[in-house]
A and B are shown apart, each in its own frame.
Chain A
Amino acid sequence: MSVDQHPRAGGAEGAIDVDDPSVPQFDLVRAGARRDGVEIVHYAPRFPVRGTKVEKRIERTIALLLTLSGLFAFGGVAAYIFWPFQYEPGPSASKLFTPLFGLGLGGALFLLGLAMVVYAKKLLPEEIAVQDRHDGPSPSDEQRMTSATLLNMVDETGIRRRPLLKAAILLPAGGIGVAAVAPLIGSLLKNPNDGHILLRTGWDPANNNGQKVRLTRADGTPIRPEDVSVGGQMTVFPGIPGGATNQYADSPVLLIHLREEDAATLRANIEKAQQTNSHPPVVQGMWGNFVAYSKICTHAGCPASLYEQQTNRLLCPCHQSQFSITNQAIPIFGPATRKLPMLPLELEDGYFVAASDFLEPVGPAYWERP
């Protein structure tokens, strides 16, 4: 690095007379920098000889970049105003609206940035400057004066020799603090035990004036056994007002029509499970070869919907939990830990109904889950 000596700098560095009007501009710059702790050790224009071919070429390059940037910008605006934009299905010119505008705007910004960087790298003078960090703690005299001021503050309040006040201040400090957050937290708080949100679903007969709730499609039509093919599944909802909407987001159920052998396997497994004294109790929820499981995965609540009809596995696409349909939807792989609740099925007037609500909470587990 080169340390430049200014012949007229009064001999020593920095000893120029700032108020002297005949001092060259750069001397003032240097002096000011020195005051700010910055030493400009190398400063040179890239092209000390003006008007060389190289310099002109760079200027032209920058001008070209700027021109292109402007063209892109105006092109983008023109596309924005005039290009067709209305959606039509299938290939149409309007599908290019966003790419064209993006190309125009993005190209303009990008080229402008390129121009600015080329200007900075090629035309601005090169320099090397060194600045003192002045890091480390403040000077010790400053530290002492400040700490004395702070301590004096404490003494002035006299809090040290007023223990009664010291104790008394705690009450409003805590109280007002609590009072400030109480409305926010209190209004947000909602008791999950109100209405047994986590324990009841739309299948509870209480939602239907005490009558058993029918299984329906999304549009509300009830379902007969003939409506589901063997080896097929259907997503069904409670047949109550709003039953197929997100209002009853814990209620969608997967109704599966098993093949004869698979249904027999499931029935046998349910019987076996009924003999153990499990809680909640296992009921024979099948009707014929039909079984209905809650669609809400017991891991994190996504709908477990990938039904593999030959391996009889139900895969949840979110975290890859797999449930065995022929064994009470017990998880056999993945992070889920509990089986999907079974909805007990019955037939009334030829249509499927839920004999009761689920016998265990639907969906993900929680601390006080029974």
Chain B
Amino acid sequence: MSAARKRRRMDLARMPGAVAQGVDERFQVATPLRRLINKVYPDHWSFMLGEIALYSFIMLLLTGTFLALFFDPSMAETTYEGSYTPLRGIQMTKAYETSLNLSFDVRGGLIMRQMHHWGALLFMAAIVVHMFRIFFTGAFRKPREFNWIIGLLLFWLGFFEGFAGYSLPDDALSGTGLRIASAIMLSIPVIGSWATTSVFGGEFPGTEILPRLYILHVFLIPLILIALITLHIFLLVKQKHTQWPGPGRTNHNVVGVRMFPNFGMKAAGFSMIVFGTIALMGGLLQINPLWLFGPYRAEVVSAASQPDWYVMFLDGSTRLMPAWDIHIPIGDGYTIPALFWPTILLPGVLTILPMLYPWIEARLRKDRQAHHLLQRPRDVPARTALGAMAIAFYLVLTISGANDVVAEKFDISLNAMTWAGRVGLLVAPPLAYYVTYRICLGLQQHDREVLAHGVETGIIRRLPDGRFIEVHQPLAPLDEHGHPQIEYAGAPVPKKMNRLGALAPAVRGFFFPVEKPAPPTPVSPTPVSPAVAPAELEESREGR
């Protein structure tokens, strides 16, 4: 071997260490990296709903990139000569034509379109479900008010992003939606006509709106969305997640699992499941069949015309609004069209009020403390009932948005559906409030009752004097009066015997419940890292 030739031996085993050393020399990552890995996350199923939105968003970015490579938002007219024979020879815009190409002439284009659209619906659905979880458990309270506002902004950004997205293909259904959007802008007092002609670049529909919506949809709004989502998650990590009250949990700690490997693996698995769900829906459930709608024409409309579900509540409010124009008899006379109230004012109120709600509630409760422990919905009956009222209001509006579909499918008069919606909008929310309030109080009482008298065991005993009594299992040692000494701590009260013990079901299995109690989990006196074999550990022990 030549002495001049020196070869550095590649030691693969040492390579990760060498790389880590190199990175740390440059960026000093040791401490922050470990801090990240060791972050503790509480484990509860309702904390994973926001993740559904996050993973759907990632899916939207990926599928959207694919679609953007084939879509052309131009409104120039062309004649279709693609594969879908029932539209051959028809005049349409390039936007519609490229959407049809994606559906029929790009391999895999249709499933990408469908995954994108289902992903968008799932994104908004997850946001709504997550928002209600936050509301009902009080996670929006100090110090998380700002995150709450970011969440509301994310909802509205998603709303506009989705609206822009489904309007891009320029089909008859979404074109009708654009027409309604221009009418909504027109209805704004004073500036309405200017706003509409400015946005559309002239008369409706013009040739500018789709390219403008495209830039909004693929660039501007995703930019803001990514920034806000990053901020939202950053705040979550910085302030740490809230947790349910329970053993060992206080307002000043977080009890759970560390990020890696436990939480990270579960989160990664869940992300795959969400991706898989979107892909399965995208492949097996048809959505937005553009080719059946035809290209947008001002004289064409279909029965059963609705916007996507997250916009449907505004369609409902528009349908239910009575025909009340306001005429202002100054000068030539001015009009505030009836359309202004359900489409501009209502969403405005529905945005501002929830944004202010954390402070409104803090004021009403005279509560300035920071809260990291969640509240069970039953323990705050006023807030829960208010939330139920909001859900009732929202549901009446959303169902009214589809009232012609409901009327046709269930043989109900369309006029009756409209009136039912108008009346229901005023009657259902207070009813929901009252009923929910009473239910919350009832549940609270039951909790207190079990705490005071113990869990019903189901064992009936006959006393010598002939009475039957049920034996109750007290939850705490009895005091001199025979009452258990236990206070309600905000955690779920066990109501069944098989839940006693660790406040978790002792019944084993999610899919196969077994009537035997679970074996006690092995608690080793000497916690070991799984990477170390027991024999090694024994050895090291011996050595000391």
Contact = CB atoms under 8 A, between A and B. Distances in A.
Interface stretch (B251-259, B356-364, B424-432): B251-259
Contact of A317 (B186, B305, B543): B305
Contact of B180 (A25, A110, A302, A306): A302
Contacts of B320: 335
Nearest to A364: B183
A334 B322 CA distance: 7
Contacts of A41: 248
Contact of A43 (B332, B334, B527, B543): B527
Question: Chain A, interface size: which category?
Answer: 35 or more
A133 B534 CA distance: 35
B372 A133 contact: yes
B84 interface: yes
Interface in B515-538: 521-532, 534, 537
A44 interface: yes
B384 to A, nearest CB: 26
B201 interface: yes
Interface stretch (A158-166, A187-195, A221-229, A267-275): A187-195
Interface in B77-122: 77, 83-86, 91, 104, 107-108, 110-111, 114-115
A82 to B, nearest CB: 11
Contact of B240 (A86, A111, A114, A133): A133
B532 A302 contact: no
B335 A132 contact: no
B197 A102 contact: no
Interface stretch (A118-126, A140-148, A349-357): A118-126
Nearest to A87: B83
Contact of B298 (A116, A131, A252, A366): A252
A246 B297 contact: yes
Contact of A113 (B85, B180, B196, B272): B272
Given A120-B265, A133-B372, A303 B40 contact: no
A102 B280 contact: yes
Interface residues of B, number: 127
Given A135-B239, A337-B323, A98 B110 contact: yes
B265 A124 contact: yes
Contacts of A320: 319, 403-404, 414-415, 418
A316 B301 CA distance: 9
Contacts of A26: 527-529, 532
A300 interface: yes
Contacts, number: 340
Contact of B197 (A191, A315, A335): A191
Contacts of A120: 261-262, 265-266, 269
Given A87-B85, A132-B253, A302-B176, A114 B283 contact: no
Contacts of A302: 176, 179-180, 301, 305
B540 interface: yes
Nearest to B337: A365
Contacts of B418: 320, 333-334
B40 to A, nearest CB: 4
B171 interface: no
A216 to B, nearest CB: 13
A370 B193 CA distance: 13
A367 B192 contact: yes
A305 B114 CA distance: 30
Interface of B: 34-35, 38-40, 77, 83-86, 91, 104, 107-108, 110-111, 114-115, 143, 176, 179-180, 182-184, 186-194, 196-199, 201-205, 239-240, 247-248, 251-258, 261-262, 265-266, 268-284, 296-305, 315, 318-325, 332-339, 370, 372, 403-404, 414-415, 418, 521-532, 534, 537, 540, 543-544
Given A102-B114, A129-B38, A249-B179, 11 more contacts: A116-B272, A124-B265, A133-B253, A191-B194, A235-B299, A237-B299, A252-B299, A320-B414, A367-B188, A367-B193, A367-B335
